[in-house]
Amino acid sequence: MSHPATGAGGGLPVAEIVARLGGTLRGDASVRVRRFAPLERAGEGDIAFLARAGQARVLEACGASCVIVPEEVDPGEHFAAAIRARDPYLYYARVSQWLQQLQAPPAPSGRHPGAVVHESARVAPDAYVDACAVVERDAEIGARAYVGPGCFVGAGAVIGADTRMLARSVVMHDCRVGERCTLHPGAVIGADGFGFARDEQGAGVRIAQTGRVVLGDDVDIGANTTVDRGALDDTRIGNGVKIDNLVQVAHNVQIGEHTALAGCVGIAGSARIGAYCFIGGGAGIAGHLEIADRTVIGGMSLVSRSVRQAGHYTGAFPLDRHENWSANAAALRHLAELRDRIRQLERTLDQQKNSAQDKS
Which residues are identified as catalytic? 251
Q: How many angstroms separate the first and last alpha carbons of the chain?
A: 92
For residues 161 and 270, what is the distance between their CA atoms, to the nearest angstrom? 29
For residues 37 and 110, what is the distance between their CA atoms, to the nearest angstrom? 35
Q: Is 177 helix (H, G, I), strand (E, B) or coil?
A: strand
For residues 213 and 238, what is the distance between their CA atoms, to the nearest angstrom? 11
β pairing state of 312-313 and 116-117: unpaired
For residues 125 and 123, what is the distance between their CA atoms, to the nearest angstrom? 6
Contact criterion met (CB below 8 Å) for 263 and 223: no
Q: Is 124 helix (H, G, I), strand (E, B) or coil?
A: coil
Contact criterion met (CB below 8 Å) for 132 and 113: no
The phi, psi pair for 333, rounded to 5°, reads: -65, -20
Edge-first strand order for the sheet with 278-279 is 110-111, 128-129, 146-147, 164-165, 182-183, 220-221, 242-243, 260-261, 278-279, 296-297, 312-313
For residues 273 and 283, what is the distance between their CA atoms, to the nearest angstrom? 13
For residues 75 and 82, what is the distance between their CA atoms, to the nearest angstrom? 7
Listed in sequence order, the residues at least 6 apart from 300 whose beta carbon sits closer than 8 Å to its beta carbon are: 280, 281, 282, 283, 316
CB atoms within 10 A of CB 157: 26
For residues 80 and 2, what is the distance between their CA atoms, to the nearest angstrom? 8
Which residues are bridge partners to 49 per DSSP?
68
